[in-house]
């Protein structure tokens, strides 16, 4: 659907139709919305590129139009296993308006609508663009901290009980970090090229903001790399712990089996239907069981002396 917003007296206001200097927000556009965007001069291929989850960050200029695709993070509430993902956002800057196209609802744009973002105006298109970049980078850093917190909780749980469930959860977090790292690097290349292209009319404070965005994006890349290395190391360590615990269990079962073999062998022999020693004695059962128990105890002590129990 398409929504139209315009800034009046520093307040963002929703309007019913397109007017110059407005922001057109398109979320999950249908065929009717796409036709309306095409009527505004937006290239159809760009619209579908913005809806492609695999599209990389890039920009291009077509006469007086600037097309930008950036990758932003989002929290997918419908996927509890891998909730931290990224999605492309298409931003078209026309001489009279700014248009954003996404395939999912995003907290970033909700922050603009709920007035959590200050110092932006739909009438200042390039500063608005930078605020979108800045908010996206902020959410990358915020979600990376959430991922780190979740990995710490999983690590604490693994210290108490090494189960496959926790390892799979760590694997899913590592998958999210791969998404983040790939998208952040794509954004970094796009930011650098966009800055060198000099197609944005920026004031001095806007140039400082753009530089801060690039620095924070690099910081997010470094954080994602560090967290990914930590997760990989922890997964390898706990996988080794689980394997070692399995070896310990198998060792204990082997010892128990060896010790019990002696009473089982004695019972098997005296269960044969042939003449056997002590079979006429009223104490034959206790004697044979006693000999079996003593032999098993001696064998167990011998295993203990050779440190099989350690």
Q: Are residues 263 and 188 in the same domain?
A: no
Asked which of 225, 243, 261 is the last residue of a domain, the reply is: 243
Cβ atoms 103, 87 nearer than 8 A: yes
Q: What's the confidence (pLDDT) of residue 215?
A: 94
Cβ atoms 238, 263 nearer than 8 A: no
CA distance 242 to 127: 53
In a domain? residue 27: yes
**CATH code: domain of residue 254:** 1.20.58
In a domain? residue 176: yes
Cβ atoms 263, 288 nearer than 8 A: no
Instruction: Tell me what percent of the chain is helix, strand and coil, each rounded to the nearest 5.
Output: 60, 15, 25
Q: What's the confidence (pLDDT) of residue 263?
A: 77
Q: What's the confidence (pLDDT) of residue 167?
A: 77
Beta bridge partners, 4, equal 15, 24
Structure tokens at 1: 């659907």
**CATH code: domain of residue 128:** 3.30.460.20
Q: Are residues 251 and 110 in the same domain?
A: no
b/e string for 245-260 if b means 16 or more Cβ within 10 A? eeeeeeeeeebeeeee
pTM recorded for the entire structure: 0.79
Instruction: Kindly list the averaged pLDDT for each block of 10 residues, start to end, along the chain of length 310.
Output: 87 88 92 91 92 91 91 88 92 92 90 84 90 94 92 79 74 90 94 88 88 94 91 79 76 77 74 68 74 78 67
Q: Are residues 163 and 287 in the same domain?
A: no
In a domain? residue 291: yes
- Helices 125-160, 204-270: crossing angle, 10 deg rounding: 20
Pairing of strands 98-102, 2-8: unpaired
**5 conformational bin, left if phi > 0, alpha if psi -120 to 50, beta if neither:** beta
Asked which of 243, 260, 285 is the last residue of a domain, the reply is: 243
Q: Are residues 165 and 88 in the same domain?
A: yes
Supply the range of the domain harboring residue 29.
Answer: 2-243
Q: Are residues 153 and 226 in the same domain?
A: yes
Q: What's the confidence (pLDDT) of residue 4?
A: 93
Chain CA centroid to CA 58, Å: 23
Q: How many CA atoms lie within 13 A of 21 on its CB side?
A: 9
- Report the number of distinct structural domains present in the chain: 2
């Amino acid at each position: 659907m398409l929504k139209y917003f315009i800034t009046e007296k520093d307040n963002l206001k929703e309007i019913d139709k397109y007017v110059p200097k407005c922001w057109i927000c398109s979320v999950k556009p249908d065929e009717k919305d796409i036709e309306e965007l095409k009527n505004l001069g937006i290239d159809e291929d760009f619209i579908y590129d913005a809806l492609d989850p695999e599209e990389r960050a890039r920009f291009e200029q077509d006469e007086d139009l600037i097309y930008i695709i950036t990758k932003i993070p989002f929290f997918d509430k419908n996927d509890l296993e891998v909730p931290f993902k990224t999605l492309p956002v298409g931003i078209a800057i026309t001489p009279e308006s700014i248009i954003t196209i996404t395939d999912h609802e995003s907290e970033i744009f909700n922050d603009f609508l709920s007035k959590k973002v200050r110092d932006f105006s739909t009438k200042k298109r390039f500063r608005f663009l930078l605020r979108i970049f800045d908010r996206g980078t902020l959410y990358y850093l915020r979600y990376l901290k959430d991922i780190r917190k979740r990995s710490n909780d999983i690590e604490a749980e693994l210290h108490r009980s090494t189960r496959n469930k926790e390892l799979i959860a760590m694997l899913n977090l590592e998958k999210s970090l791969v998404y983040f790292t790939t998208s952040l690097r794509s954004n970094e290349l796009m930011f650098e090229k966009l800055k060198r292209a000099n197609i944005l009319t920026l004031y001095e404070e806007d140039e400082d903001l753009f530089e801060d965005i690039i620095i924070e994006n690099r910081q997010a890349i470094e954080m994602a790399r560090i967290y990914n290395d930590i997760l990989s190391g922890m997964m390898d360590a706990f996988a080794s712990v689980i394997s070692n615990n399995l070896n310990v269990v198998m060792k204990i079962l082997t010892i128990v089996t060896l010790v019990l073999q002696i009473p089982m062998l004695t019972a098997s022999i005296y269960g044969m239907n042939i003449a056997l020693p002590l079979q006429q004695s009223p104490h034959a059962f206790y004697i044979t069981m006693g000999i079996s128990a003593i032999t098993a105890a001696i064998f167990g002590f011998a295993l203990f002396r050779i440190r099989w129990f350690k």
